[in-house]
Amino acid sequence: MDQERLLAAVLLADVVGSTPLYERIGDDAALQQISNCLDAIRAIVARHGGDFIYSKGDDVLSLFERPEAALKAVCEISSQLTKGPLRSRIGLHFGAFIRARGAVFGDVVNVTARLSATANPGEVLISQSFFEALSAGSRGALRLLDKMAFKGKQELFDVYTLGSDDGALTTHIARRGTFVDRRSALPRQINLVIRYGDLLQSCRNNEFVTIGRSPECNIVVQRPWVSRHHATFTISNGKAWLIERSSSGTFVSMGTNQEVFVRREDILLFGSGIISPGRRSSLGDAQNLHYEIISG
């Protein structure tokens, strides 16, 4: 079997939002929009000198000899998919891999896939090795998010994103490798009530209540340290969760427990408590949200 070992940047762009699109406008129209989106990504890749490898479902895998070219392609893809129902989740990595039978193999590809899967819609996650492969001038376009753990990997990874991204979205994986198996939860009927000032929101099983600076959120908190889509309350399998996705993090206190800081993690909520985006709840400018879990 003919194969070659290469060193290059690997870009995986996954288009998300197709499921509600099919439901809303029908199969034919949705398929056309998704196909147009994938074609646009492939055209951007080609325009910046990338090598399209394959497209599986709603994603596009490409290679770039020059990391700077891959970064320019990612910026263009991100800027184009900011309006409409479709968004992209992008992973960008750099390293050695094997190319054979028209496909690519190796750990670099696996890590790129995990970066893409970890990103939320509209976000780009970039590895430390890609950051180091860039010229000093190009590194200024990125900012460090955090160290993150990925399934199947023992070490923590420094992960970056585009400098213009406000860190509103990301990761389905706890940043210190803490994984929660939700399958073990025993379903029960609970209601999560959240109060922010005079606003009262209720959340039941499989419902979501979003917090953030964006007017699209259910609870809008207009403060500069709050991300556009900062966090989400939800109930899954009879348990209440806070899904934290911000750059500034969130302070959480439950009952009489000590206040804890979380960032880009899913945290299980108990009883009642206070959620304070980006600030300790005791500070004068803190925007405190009070929650209570009610059975039945």
For the chain, which domains are there? 3-162 (3.30.70.1230), 182-295 (2.60.200.20)
Please give the average per-residue pLDDT across 130-153, as a whole number.
80
Question: pLDDT value at position 179?
Answer: 32
Nearest to 146 by CA among 164, 133, 161: 161
Say if residue 142's pLDDT is above 60. Answer: yes
Band (175; pLDDT cuts 50, 70, 90):
very low
CA 57 to chain centre: 19
State how far the Cα of 77 lies from the Cα of 74, in Å rounded to an integer: 5
Please give the average per-residue pLDDT across 168-190, as a whole number.
42
Residues 6+ away with beta carbon under 8 Å from 215: none
Please classify residue 139 by burial: count the beta carbons closer than 10 Å to its beta carbon, then call 0-12 exposed, 13-18 middle and 19+ buried.
middle
Q: To which residue do tokens 């590809």 refer?
A: 109
Model pTM score: 0.57
Q: Are 234 and 241 in contact (CB under 8 A)?
A: yes
% of residues, the chain, pLDDT over 70: 86
The answer to which of 73-87, 216-230, 251-265 has the lowest mean pLDDT is 73-87
Separation in Å, CA 251 to CA 31, 72, 166, 211, 292: 42, 36, 19, 14, 16
Q: What is the DSSP letter of 187?
A: P
Question: pLDDT value at position 82?
Answer: 62
Question: pLDDT value at position 276?
Answer: 97
Band (150; pLDDT cuts 50, 70, 90):
low
Please give the average per-residue pLDDT across 175-184, as a whole number.
34
DSSP E strands, 151-256:
157-162, 190-196, 199-203, 208-212, 219-220, 231-236, 239-244, 250-254
